[in-house]
Amino acid sequence: MKNRRDFIKNAATVSAAFMIVPRHVLGGKGFTAPSDKLQVASIGVGGRGEANTNKIGAHANVGMAFLCDVDDQRAADSVKKFPKAKYYKDYRAMLEKEHRHIDAVAISSPDHQHTIQCLAAMQLGKHVYVEKPLAHDIWEARVLTHAAQRYKVVTQMGNQGASDDGPG
């Protein structure tokens, strides 16, 4: 190198090359960068919610980022299984504080909460998986249908007979 300017120019070029190289080259085959993972919040993580949280969190491209349950005892196993996930007792506080870091929400809370929690997530532009029953009446179902269209989100209501692997 002739001088300090050449050194700085060459160092900048080498640094830029690392930013341009695809992540899979640096991380190896099968590497998924944390920024490429779907960040999921799970509401209701005990009982049936624990099974849903475990199944969703087992996917390689999912980061179980937030857990929420009003019952600390019922949530304990999920909290233990996903220690990196931030835990909340109130879904409203979780959505308000963390909505920028959430891509999708899984809802497995008690039935009477499904519609309101689903609507709250959709209004923030979050994709939603919600356990059955989705709603208590046709009006609630229509509200959620219109919300999914308005906020352009993907939704699914859980029906294990149709969405789980196994005998059909």
**38 phi/psi in degrees, rounded to 5:** -75, 120
SS3 category, 154: coil
Query: Which two structure tokens, joined as six digits, stand for 13?
Result: 């070029």
Domains of the chain, each with CATH number or no CATH: 1-31 (no CATH), 32-158 (3.40.50.720)
> For residue 147, how far is the Cα from the chain centroid?
19
Predicted TM-score (pTM) of the model is 0.78
pLDDT digits (tens, 9 = 90+) for 16-74: 444 454 555 555 556 556 678 999 999 999 999 999 999 999 999 999 999 999 999 99
Q: In the predicted model, what is the mean pLDDT of residues 127-131? A: 95
Q: Measured between alpha carbons, how far is 166 from 90 in angstroms, rounded to an integer?
A: 34
